[in-house]
Amino acid sequence: MKKEVRVRFAPSPTGFLHVGGARTALYNWLFARHEGGKFLLRIEDTDRERSTPEMVDYIVEGLSWLGLDWDEEPIFQSHRLDVYKKYADDLVKRGLAYYARTVDEEQAGERTRREWVEAAPEEIGKVPLAVRFRVPVEGETSYEDLIRGLITFKNSEIGDFTILRSDGTPTYQLACVLDDHFMGITHVIRGEDHIPNTPKQILLYRAFGWDTPLFAHLPMILGPDKKKLSKRHGATAVLEYRDMGILPEALFNFLALLGWSPGEDREIVPKDEMIRLFDIRRVGKRAAVFDINKLLWMNSVYIRMKTDEELLRLVLPLFEERGLVKDDSDREKLLRLIPLLKERARVLPDFVEMGFYFFSDEFEYEEKGVRKYLQDPEVPGRLRLLRERLADIPEGEFRQEKIEETLRGLAGKLGIKAALLIHPTRLLLTGRTQGPGLFELMEVLGRDECLRRLDNYLKRVS
């Protein structure tokens, strides 16, 4: 019988869910789903000073938003402190670990440095002591990385390391090994920065007489300057991307392809396809630069894939916040507006940016447009004619086709190109020189509002 695959994501609640962490979680999740195994969550909160419950909530919120779900109750390391201590003591009893303390050693001159010394027998039980694992000086420790192949370390270069702090809490090395063992973790998929920890943990597994899981180390995510991605590169927290109007599906897709490729020339890959195609061996080895530009493009693709109703639900709060949409008739208008805007939006707030003039006439004419379209002395006369013809259309017939027919008819009569009417009209109605097709936007705006906005201008120039 094949053993069930069990993987975990083990964040430390000392900060927000970083996109690097999110991608690690994502790969674990994809792997588990592909293998029909379990994806678990473990909160590594043994560092009491830096861990906070709020961060746990934010991390959980970030994972949920991204669409990652886990299969069992999350494990909190802070709830299991007695377990770690017991196993550390066991190693001491068996001579594989020892009590130790630090001393400040005077180095030549003024510099002081902390050094570890094994505690004398009479000190044990009297002063706070840490437990250190004894690493053999001889031999080497190696493992087969699922992504990178054989990796070997000389034991002499590993050196003893602390497994239990003097306050009785475990360090990462100990807690990670014990929990992975008791959680039945079969594959440890984590960031490349953990490679140097791996031999230490393997040594611990052996000391306890346990089988080691399989390891896979993911490449780093870098900023545009090729340094490890951090706050100074801009947004790094998953929820920041949510707040800037990125869709979870887009970030999911983007992160999945940052370091992994399904092997076909595909960029937009639905989640179920990804699960089907995911293969940890196809994860690349080299660090990847986080290209926000490509994310924005991908987001625009996902926006266009949404239905108008879905988009309404997503952008309505943004319009309400700005006081632009107040009642049902506004909402109805917004829904009719969405198909005009979704081709042009890259992030959700773009809808507000590009659509606010449908709900408010408090805008200035774009200066470039004034220069280009309102300078010709013929313009006011032409627009007055257009205004009259539009006014003749019954309210109920103020449809895109009818408007177009009217405007083009007038242009024909005047012997001018339709563009000479279209551009100035757009400017007066929207303040912009660019945007959705004029006739579509006029229909949504409504006859009376169109006339009003034209009049605002015509009154001033007469």
Partner RNA sequence: GGCCCCAUCGUCUAAUGGCUAGGACACCGCUCUUUCAAGGCGGCGGCGGGGGUUCGAAUCCCCCUGGGGCCGCCA
- Interaction residues for RNA, span 342-401 (CB under 7 A): 343-344
**Binding span for RNA by CB under 7 A among 8-16, 25-33, 232-240, 391-399:** 8-16
* Residue 14 binds RNA (CB under 7 A): yes
With beta carbons less than 8 A apart as the criterion, state whether 56 and 24 touch: no
Contacts 24+ apart (CB under 8 A), 112-118: 116/160
Tell me which residues in 205-224 interact with RNA (CB under 7 A). 219-220, 222
Question: Among 448, 449, 404, 402, which Cα is nearest to 430's?
Answer: 449
For RNA, the closer of residues 53 and 321 by Cβ is 53
Which one of 440, 445, 454, 457 is in contact with RNA (CB under 7 A)? 440
Q: How far apart are CA 347 and CA 354, in angstroms?
A: 11
Q: Which helix (H) or strand (E) holds 9?
A: strand 6-9
State the nearest-atom distance from the C-beta of 438 to RNA, in Å: 4
* Residue 307 binds RNA (CB under 7 A): no
Catalytic residue among 154, 231, 413, 417: 231
**Binding span for RNA by CB under 7 A among 26-34, 91-99, 152-160, 317-325:** 152-160
413 labelled ligand-binding: no
* Residue 149 binds RNA (CB under 7 A): yes
Q: How far apart are CA 131 and CA 87, in angstroms?
A: 11
Size of the site for RNA (CB under 7 A): 79
| CB-count burial class (<10 Å; 0-12, 13-18, 19+) for 8 | buried
CA distances from 262 to 85, 220, 257, 382 (A): 44, 19, 8, 58
Adjacency order of strands within the sheet including 130-133: 112-118, 97-106, 130-133, 161-164
State the nearest-atom distance from the C-beta of 173 to RNA, in Å: 7
231 annotated active-site: yes
Which one of 433, 451, 455, 458 is in contact with RNA (CB under 7 A)? 433
Q: Report the first-to-last Cα separation within the chain, whole angstroms.
A: 88
Which one of 146, 195, 324, 393 is in contact with RNA (CB under 7 A)? 195
* Residue 322 binds RNA (CB under 7 A): no
Neighbours of 93 (CB within 10 A): 9
State the nearest-atom distance from the C-beta of 188 to RNA, in Å: 13
DSSP string, 99-146: EEEEEEEEPSSS-EEEEEEEPPGGGTTTS--EEEE---SSSEEEEEET
For RNA, the closer of residues 46 and 236 by Cβ is 46
For RNA, the closer of residues 145 and 455 by Cβ is 145
* Residue 257 binds RNA (CB under 7 A): yes
For RNA, the closer of residues 391 and 419 by Cβ is 419
Which one of 30, 300, 355, 443 is in contact with RNA (CB under 7 A)? 300
Token code pair at residue 19: 């996109």
Q: How far apart are CA 59 and CA 237, in angstroms?
A: 10
* Residue 265 binds RNA (CB under 7 A): yes
Tell me which residues in 97-136 interact with RNA (CB under 7 A). 101-102, 116, 128, 130
For RNA, the closer of residues 226 and 460 by Cβ is 226
Token code pair at residue 70: 């886990």
The binding site comprises 231
Residues with catalytic roles: 231
